[in-house]
Chains A and B, each alone.
Chain A
Protein backbone atom coordinates (compact mmCIF):
# COMPACT_ATOMS: atom_id res chain seq x y z
CA UNK A 1 0.00 0.00 0.00
CA UNK A 2 1.40 3.34 -1.05
CA UNK A 3 1.36 5.86 1.80
CA UNK A 4 2.08 8.54 -0.78
CA UNK A 5 -1.09 7.69 -2.71
CA UNK A 6 -3.17 7.27 0.41
CA UNK A 7 -2.13 10.67 1.77
CA UNK A 8 -2.34 12.58 -1.50
CA UNK A 9 -5.58 11.05 -2.70
CA UNK A 10 -7.49 10.38 0.52
CA UNK A 11 -6.40 13.04 2.97
CA UNK A 12 -5.56 16.70 3.18
CA UNK A 13 -2.31 16.09 5.02
CA UNK A 14 0.76 17.80 3.66
CA UNK A 15 3.13 15.32 2.06
CA UNK A 16 6.91 15.53 2.23
CA UNK A 17 9.21 13.67 -0.10
CA UNK A 18 12.99 13.65 -0.38
CA UNK A 19 15.73 12.47 -2.67
CA UNK A 20 17.83 9.45 -1.80
CA UNK A 21 21.54 10.14 -2.26
CA UNK A 22 22.67 8.10 -5.25
CA UNK A 23 24.62 4.98 -4.38
CA UNK A 24 27.98 4.15 -5.92
CA UNK A 25 29.91 2.41 -3.18
CA UNK A 26 29.35 2.13 0.54
CA UNK A 27 27.16 -0.96 0.41
CA UNK A 28 24.06 -1.52 2.49
CA UNK A 29 25.64 0.29 5.44
CA UNK A 30 25.34 3.57 3.56
CA UNK A 31 21.77 2.77 2.56
CA UNK A 32 20.94 2.17 6.18
CA UNK A 33 22.57 5.41 7.30
CA UNK A 34 20.77 7.49 4.66
CA UNK A 35 17.46 5.79 5.33
CA UNK A 36 17.74 6.49 9.05
CA UNK A 37 18.19 10.23 8.37
CA UNK A 38 15.15 10.49 6.12
CA UNK A 39 12.69 7.97 7.56
CA UNK A 40 11.47 10.08 10.51
CA UNK A 41 10.42 12.97 8.29
CA UNK A 42 9.39 11.80 4.87
CA UNK A 43 6.39 9.98 3.45
CA UNK A 44 8.25 8.74 0.39
CA UNK A 45 11.72 9.13 -1.08
CA UNK A 46 12.93 9.20 -4.69
CA UNK A 47 15.10 6.37 -5.97
CA UNK A 48 16.87 8.16 -8.80
CA UNK A 49 17.88 6.79 -12.20
CA UNK A 50 21.43 7.88 -13.08
CA UNK A 51 20.87 11.47 -11.92
CA UNK A 52 22.62 14.21 -13.89
CA UNK A 53 23.73 11.52 -16.36
CA UNK A 54 26.20 9.87 -13.98
CA UNK A 55 26.17 6.08 -13.63
CA UNK A 56 25.09 4.86 -10.18
CA UNK A 57 23.35 1.87 -8.64
CA UNK A 58 20.25 1.24 -10.74
CA UNK A 59 16.89 2.77 -9.92
CA UNK A 60 15.29 -0.61 -9.23
CA UNK A 61 18.10 -1.91 -7.01
CA UNK A 62 18.09 1.37 -5.09
CA UNK A 63 14.32 1.30 -4.62
CA UNK A 64 14.44 -2.28 -3.33
CA UNK A 65 17.27 -1.46 -0.92
CA UNK A 66 15.38 1.58 0.37
CA UNK A 67 12.23 -0.46 0.94
CA UNK A 68 14.31 -3.00 2.87
CA UNK A 69 15.35 -0.16 5.17
CA UNK A 70 11.88 1.17 5.84
CA UNK A 71 11.51 3.91 3.22
CA UNK A 72 8.71 4.07 0.72
CA UNK A 73 10.37 4.54 -2.67
CA UNK A 74 9.22 6.65 -5.56
CA UNK A 75 11.10 4.95 -8.36
CA UNK A 76 12.20 7.32 -11.08
CA UNK A 77 12.59 6.09 -14.63
CA UNK A 78 14.53 8.29 -17.03
CA UNK A 79 14.31 8.09 -20.84
CA UNK A 80 17.95 8.96 -21.57
CA UNK A 81 19.58 5.54 -21.07
CA UNK A 82 16.81 3.08 -21.93
CA UNK A 83 14.63 2.33 -24.90
CA UNK A 84 10.94 1.48 -24.62
CA UNK A 85 11.64 -2.20 -23.89
CA UNK A 86 14.03 -1.44 -21.03
CA UNK A 87 11.65 1.17 -19.61
CA UNK A 88 8.83 -1.35 -19.57
CA UNK A 89 11.04 -3.92 -17.87
CA UNK A 90 11.87 -1.32 -15.20
CA UNK A 91 8.15 -0.90 -14.64
CA UNK A 92 7.48 -4.63 -14.51
CA UNK A 93 10.49 -5.15 -12.24
CA UNK A 94 9.17 -2.51 -9.87
CA UNK A 95 5.75 -4.18 -9.86
CA UNK A 96 7.36 -7.54 -9.10
CA UNK A 97 8.95 -6.06 -5.98
CA UNK A 98 5.80 -4.26 -4.84
CA UNK A 99 7.10 -0.82 -5.79
CA UNK A 100 4.09 1.16 -6.94
CA UNK A 101 5.13 4.83 -6.93
CA UNK A 102 6.71 5.48 -10.30
CA UNK A 103 7.89 8.84 -11.59
CA UNK A 104 8.68 9.24 -15.28
CA UNK A 105 11.24 11.76 -16.50
CA UNK A 106 12.80 12.63 -19.82
CA UNK A 107 16.11 13.19 -18.06
CA UNK A 108 19.15 15.41 -18.43
CA UNK A 109 21.16 14.94 -21.59
CA UNK A 110 24.31 12.78 -21.57
CA UNK A 111 26.32 15.99 -21.95
CA UNK A 112 25.34 16.90 -18.37
CA UNK A 113 27.30 13.94 -17.02
CA UNK A 114 30.80 12.53 -16.83
CA UNK A 115 30.42 10.32 -19.91
CA UNK A 116 29.27 12.78 -22.58
CA UNK A 117 30.54 10.40 -25.26
CA UNK A 118 27.73 7.95 -24.46
CA UNK A 119 24.85 7.38 -26.88
CA UNK A 120 21.72 9.20 -25.82
CA UNK A 121 18.62 7.05 -26.20
CA UNK A 122 15.41 9.09 -25.77
CA UNK A 123 13.51 6.40 -27.71
CA UNK A 124 10.39 7.68 -25.95
CA UNK A 125 9.85 10.80 -23.83
CA UNK A 126 8.47 11.24 -20.32
CA UNK A 127 4.88 11.83 -21.43
CA UNK A 128 4.88 8.76 -23.65
CA UNK A 129 6.37 6.78 -20.76
CA UNK A 130 3.55 7.92 -18.48
CA UNK A 131 0.99 6.83 -21.07
CA UNK A 132 2.69 3.42 -21.34
CA UNK A 133 2.71 3.01 -17.55
CA UNK A 134 -0.99 3.86 -17.48
CA UNK A 135 -1.64 1.21 -20.13
CA UNK A 136 0.14 -1.25 -17.82
CA UNK A 137 -2.22 -0.38 -14.98
CA UNK A 138 -4.96 -1.42 -17.43
CA UNK A 139 -3.14 -4.72 -17.92
CA UNK A 140 -1.39 -4.14 -21.23
CA UNK A 141 2.19 -3.77 -22.40
CA UNK A 142 2.85 -1.28 -25.18
CA UNK A 143 2.62 -4.08 -27.73
CA UNK A 144 -0.75 -5.11 -26.32
CA UNK A 145 0.31 -8.23 -24.39
CA UNK A 146 -1.77 -8.94 -21.30
CA UNK A 147 -0.31 -8.43 -17.82
CA UNK A 148 -2.22 -10.23 -15.10
CA UNK A 149 -2.68 -8.97 -12.47
CA UNK A 150 -2.20 -5.45 -13.78
CA UNK A 151 0.37 -3.47 -11.80
CA UNK A 152 -1.15 -0.99 -9.38
CA UNK A 153 1.10 1.97 -10.18
CA UNK A 154 0.71 5.41 -8.68
CA UNK A 155 2.19 7.61 -11.38
CA UNK A 156 4.04 10.87 -11.12
CA UNK A 157 6.28 13.11 -13.15
CA UNK A 158 8.38 16.25 -12.93
CA UNK A 159 7.81 19.66 -14.49
CA UNK A 160 9.93 22.78 -14.49
CA UNK A 161 7.88 25.85 -13.61
CA UNK A 162 10.94 28.07 -13.90
CA UNK A 163 11.82 27.29 -17.53
CA UNK A 164 10.47 28.82 -20.74
CA UNK A 165 7.87 28.86 -22.16
CA UNK A 166 6.19 29.67 -18.86
CA UNK A 167 2.59 29.62 -20.11
CA UNK A 168 3.13 26.35 -21.87
CA UNK A 169 4.54 24.63 -18.75
CA UNK A 170 1.01 24.73 -17.34
CA UNK A 171 -0.40 23.03 -20.44
CA UNK A 172 2.42 20.52 -20.38
CA UNK A 173 1.53 19.67 -16.78
CA UNK A 174 -2.03 19.09 -17.98
CA UNK A 175 -0.69 16.87 -20.74
CA UNK A 176 1.15 14.76 -18.16
CA UNK A 177 -2.00 14.59 -16.09
CA UNK A 178 -4.03 13.43 -19.09
CA UNK A 179 -1.40 10.80 -19.80
CA UNK A 180 -1.84 9.43 -16.27
CA UNK A 181 0.32 11.38 -13.81
CA UNK A 182 -1.37 12.00 -10.47
CA UNK A 183 1.39 14.04 -8.86
CA UNK A 184 4.20 16.31 -10.02
CA UNK A 185 7.42 16.93 -8.17
CA UNK A 186 8.47 20.30 -9.52
CA UNK A 187 12.02 21.17 -10.46
CA UNK A 188 13.87 23.41 -7.98
CA UNK A 189 12.64 26.96 -8.60
CA UNK A 190 14.28 30.12 -7.28
CA UNK A 191 11.60 32.39 -8.77
CA UNK A 192 8.60 32.53 -6.42
CA UNK A 193 6.60 34.51 -9.00
CA UNK A 194 7.07 31.83 -11.68
CA UNK A 195 6.18 29.07 -9.26
CA UNK A 196 3.09 30.95 -8.17
CA UNK A 197 1.87 31.56 -11.73
CA UNK A 198 2.44 27.89 -12.57
CA UNK A 199 0.63 26.51 -9.51
CA UNK A 200 -2.31 28.87 -9.96
CA UNK A 201 -2.57 27.91 -13.63
CA UNK A 202 -2.40 24.18 -12.95
CA UNK A 203 -4.89 24.40 -10.07
CA UNK A 204 -7.33 25.97 -12.52
CA UNK A 205 -7.11 23.43 -15.35
CA UNK A 206 -6.06 20.26 -13.50
CA UNK A 207 -7.31 20.68 -9.93
CA UNK A 208 -6.75 16.99 -9.12
CA UNK A 209 -3.08 17.06 -10.02
CA UNK A 210 -1.06 17.14 -6.79
CA UNK A 211 1.91 19.50 -6.81
CA UNK A 212 5.06 19.07 -4.75
CA UNK A 213 7.48 21.96 -5.37
CA UNK A 214 11.13 21.26 -4.63
CA UNK A 215 13.40 23.17 -2.29
CA UNK A 216 17.09 22.53 -2.06
CA UNK A 217 19.31 22.78 1.00
CA UNK A 218 22.82 24.00 0.27
CA UNK A 219 25.55 25.37 2.49
CA UNK A 220 26.98 28.30 0.55
CA UNK A 221 26.86 30.65 -2.40
CA UNK A 222 29.24 28.22 -4.07
CA UNK A 223 26.59 25.50 -3.82
CA UNK A 224 24.04 27.80 -5.43
CA UNK A 225 26.54 28.79 -8.10
CA UNK A 226 27.18 25.16 -8.89
CA UNK A 227 23.48 24.57 -9.45
CA UNK A 228 23.20 27.66 -11.58
CA UNK A 229 26.12 26.61 -13.79
CA UNK A 230 25.88 22.84 -13.84
CA UNK A 231 22.34 21.66 -13.26
CA UNK A 232 20.13 21.58 -16.33
CA UNK A 233 17.07 23.81 -16.15
CA UNK A 234 18.01 25.63 -12.94
CA UNK A 235 18.70 29.33 -12.87
CA UNK A 236 19.61 31.08 -9.63
CA UNK A 237 18.85 34.80 -9.84
CA UNK A 238 21.70 37.21 -9.03
CA UNK A 239 19.74 38.71 -6.14
CA UNK A 240 19.76 35.39 -4.29
CA UNK A 241 23.39 34.63 -5.17
CA UNK A 242 24.59 38.02 -3.90
CA UNK A 243 22.44 37.81 -0.80
CA UNK A 244 24.09 34.55 0.24
CA UNK A 245 27.54 35.61 -0.99
CA UNK A 246 27.60 38.80 1.07
CA UNK A 247 26.22 37.26 4.27
CA UNK A 248 28.62 36.82 7.17
CA UNK A 249 27.24 33.34 7.73
CA UNK A 250 26.63 31.89 4.25
CA UNK A 251 25.37 28.60 5.55
CA UNK A 252 22.72 30.27 7.67
CA UNK A 253 21.70 32.64 4.88
CA UNK A 254 21.35 29.79 2.35
CA UNK A 255 19.21 27.97 4.91
CA UNK A 256 17.01 31.04 5.34
CA UNK A 257 16.53 31.36 1.58
CA UNK A 258 15.38 27.73 1.39
CA UNK A 259 12.99 28.23 4.30
CA UNK A 260 11.47 31.33 2.70
CA UNK A 261 11.00 29.59 -0.64
CA UNK A 262 9.48 26.56 1.09
CA UNK A 263 7.07 28.61 3.20
CA UNK A 264 5.90 30.52 0.14
CA UNK A 265 5.50 27.36 -1.94
CA UNK A 266 3.31 25.74 0.72
CA UNK A 267 0.76 28.56 0.47
CA UNK A 268 0.14 28.11 -3.26
CA UNK A 269 -2.99 26.53 -4.78
CA UNK A 270 -2.65 22.91 -5.85
CA UNK A 271 0.41 22.46 -3.62
CA UNK A 272 0.07 19.41 -1.39
CA UNK A 273 3.49 19.34 0.17
CA UNK A 274 7.15 19.65 -0.66
CA UNK A 275 10.00 17.73 -2.15
CA UNK A 276 13.28 18.36 -0.34
CA UNK A 277 16.69 17.90 -1.89
CA UNK A 278 19.46 18.00 0.67
CA UNK A 279 22.98 18.84 -0.46
CA UNK A 280 24.10 19.89 3.02
CA UNK A 281 24.20 16.35 4.35
CA UNK A 282 24.24 17.56 7.92
CA UNK A 283 21.76 17.80 10.77
CA UNK A 284 20.00 20.81 9.28
CA UNK A 285 17.37 18.64 7.63
CA UNK A 286 15.95 18.11 11.13
CA UNK A 287 15.90 21.88 11.80
CA UNK A 288 14.39 22.53 8.40
CA UNK A 289 11.51 20.15 8.89
CA UNK A 290 10.92 21.39 12.44
CA UNK A 291 10.96 25.00 11.23
CA UNK A 292 8.27 24.04 8.72
CA UNK A 293 6.18 22.87 11.66
CA UNK A 294 6.64 19.15 11.10
CA UNK A 295 7.10 16.62 13.86
CA UNK A 296 9.18 13.50 13.28
CA UNK A 297 7.43 10.13 13.20
CA UNK A 298 9.61 9.16 16.14
CA UNK A 299 12.12 10.73 18.49
CA UNK A 300 15.43 11.47 16.80
CA UNK A 301 18.40 10.43 18.87
Chain B
Protein backbone atom coordinates (compact mmCIF):
# COMPACT_ATOMS: atom_id res chain seq x y z
CA UNK B 1 0.00 0.00 0.00
CA UNK B 2 1.23 3.46 -0.80
CA UNK B 3 0.04 6.98 -0.02
CA UNK B 4 -2.70 7.82 -2.56
CA UNK B 5 -1.45 11.42 -2.64
CA UNK B 6 2.12 10.16 -3.20
CA UNK B 7 3.32 12.47 -0.44
CA UNK B 8 7.01 12.58 0.37
CA UNK B 9 6.59 14.70 3.48
CA UNK B 10 3.43 13.28 5.00
CA UNK B 11 1.10 12.66 6.64
CA UNK B 12 -1.42 15.03 5.10
CA UNK B 13 -3.97 16.92 7.17
CA UNK B 14 -6.79 14.66 6.03
CA UNK B 15 -5.96 11.70 8.29
CA UNK B 16 -9.20 10.42 9.81
CA UNK B 17 -9.92 9.92 13.49
CA UNK B 18 -8.13 6.74 14.52
CA UNK B 19 -5.38 7.19 11.92
CA UNK B 20 -7.28 6.02 8.82
CA UNK B 21 -6.47 7.34 5.36
CA UNK B 22 -8.47 10.26 3.98
CA UNK B 23 -8.63 8.77 0.48
CA UNK B 24 -8.93 5.07 1.32
CA UNK B 25 -10.73 4.93 4.66
CA UNK B 26 -10.28 1.17 4.85
CA UNK B 27 -6.51 1.46 5.24
CA UNK B 28 -4.33 3.01 7.93
CA UNK B 29 -2.54 6.16 6.76
CA UNK B 30 0.87 4.83 5.73
CA UNK B 31 2.57 7.88 7.24
CA UNK B 32 0.86 7.35 10.58
CA UNK B 33 2.00 3.74 10.46
CA UNK B 34 5.55 4.73 9.54
CA UNK B 35 5.68 7.32 12.31
CA UNK B 36 4.39 4.90 14.93
CA UNK B 37 7.08 2.44 13.88
CA UNK B 38 9.79 5.08 13.94
CA UNK B 39 8.83 5.71 17.56
CA UNK B 40 8.24 2.18 18.76
CA UNK B 41 10.94 0.18 16.98
CA UNK B 42 14.47 0.17 18.41
CA UNK B 43 15.97 1.95 15.40
CA UNK B 44 19.28 3.85 15.41
CA UNK B 45 18.89 7.55 16.25
CA UNK B 46 19.95 8.70 12.77
CA UNK B 47 17.15 6.67 11.21
CA UNK B 48 14.61 8.20 13.54
CA UNK B 49 15.86 11.71 12.73
CA UNK B 50 15.60 10.82 9.05
CA UNK B 51 11.82 10.63 9.38
CA UNK B 52 11.50 14.40 9.64
CA UNK B 53 13.93 15.30 6.85
CA UNK B 54 12.69 17.54 4.06
CA UNK B 55 12.53 15.19 1.10
CA UNK B 56 12.89 16.86 -2.33
CA UNK B 57 10.40 16.55 -5.18
CA UNK B 58 10.45 13.22 -7.01
CA UNK B 59 12.30 13.19 -10.33
CA UNK B 60 9.66 11.86 -12.70
CA UNK B 61 12.34 10.99 -15.26
CA UNK B 62 13.35 8.12 -13.02
CA UNK B 63 9.96 6.46 -13.30
CA UNK B 64 10.40 2.97 -14.68
CA UNK B 65 14.19 2.95 -14.27
CA UNK B 66 16.17 0.73 -11.92
CA UNK B 67 16.19 2.10 -8.40
CA UNK B 68 19.30 0.03 -7.67
CA UNK B 69 21.30 1.57 -10.50
CA UNK B 70 20.04 5.02 -9.50
CA UNK B 71 21.18 4.36 -5.97
CA UNK B 72 24.63 3.13 -6.98
CA UNK B 73 25.20 5.97 -9.47
CA UNK B 74 23.70 8.49 -6.99
CA UNK B 75 21.40 9.58 -9.79
CA UNK B 76 18.54 9.50 -7.26
CA UNK B 77 20.26 12.13 -5.14
CA UNK B 78 20.26 14.81 -7.82
CA UNK B 79 17.97 17.74 -7.06
CA UNK B 80 16.95 20.69 -9.27
CA UNK B 81 19.46 23.57 -9.25
CA UNK B 82 17.08 25.90 -7.41
CA UNK B 83 16.16 23.44 -4.68
CA UNK B 84 17.36 24.65 -1.26
CA UNK B 85 18.95 21.68 0.48
CA UNK B 86 18.36 21.60 4.20
CA UNK B 87 21.35 22.20 6.37
CA UNK B 88 20.44 20.68 9.70
CA UNK B 89 22.67 20.31 12.65
CA UNK B 90 20.50 17.92 14.62
Contact = CB atoms under 8 A, between A and B. Distances in A.
B9 A127 contact: yes
Given A164-B18, A179-B54, A120 B4 contact: yes
A164 B19 contact: yes
A143 B82 contact: yes
Contacts of B7: 106, 122, 125
Contacts of B11: 163-165, 168, 172
Contacts of B29: 164
B85 to A, nearest CB: 9
Interface in A135-160: 135, 138, 140-145, 158-160
Contacts of B26: none
Given A135-B84, A140-B82, A164-B29, A175 B56 contact: no
Interface residues of B, number: 37
B interface, by DSSP: helix, strand, loop or mixed?
loop
Interface string B9-47: 111111111110011000001001001100100000000
A124 B5 contact: no
B69 interface: no
Interface of B: 4-19, 22-23, 29, 32, 35-36, 39, 52, 54-58, 60, 80-84, 86, 88
A200 interface: no
A139 to B, nearest CB: 9
A16 B35 CA distance: 33
A159 B83 CA distance: 23
Contact of B82 (A106, A141, A171): A141
A164 B15 CA distance: 7
A140 B79 CA distance: 14
Contact of A232 (B4, B14, B82, B84): B14
Interface string A159-191: 110011101100110110011000000010000
B19 A125 contact: no
Interface residues of A, number: 45
A165 B14 contact: no
Contact of B10 (A109, A125, A143, A144): A125
Most buried by B among A80, A128, A134: A128
A233 B54 contact: no
A235 B8 contact: no
Nearest to B33: A165
A123 interface: yes
Given A109-B4, A134-B84, A232-B22, A128 B15 contact: no
Contact of B13 (A171, A232, A235): A232
A47 to B, nearest CB: 19
Nearest to B22: A232
A160 B10 CA distance: 12
A278 interface: no
Most buried by B among A106, A141, A158: A106
A128 B84 contact: no
B7 to A, nearest CB: 5
Contact of B15 (A112, A143, A233): A233
A128 B56 contact: yes
Contact of A165 (B35, B58, B83, B84): B35
Nearest to B9: A127
Interface string A259-285: 000000000000000000000000000
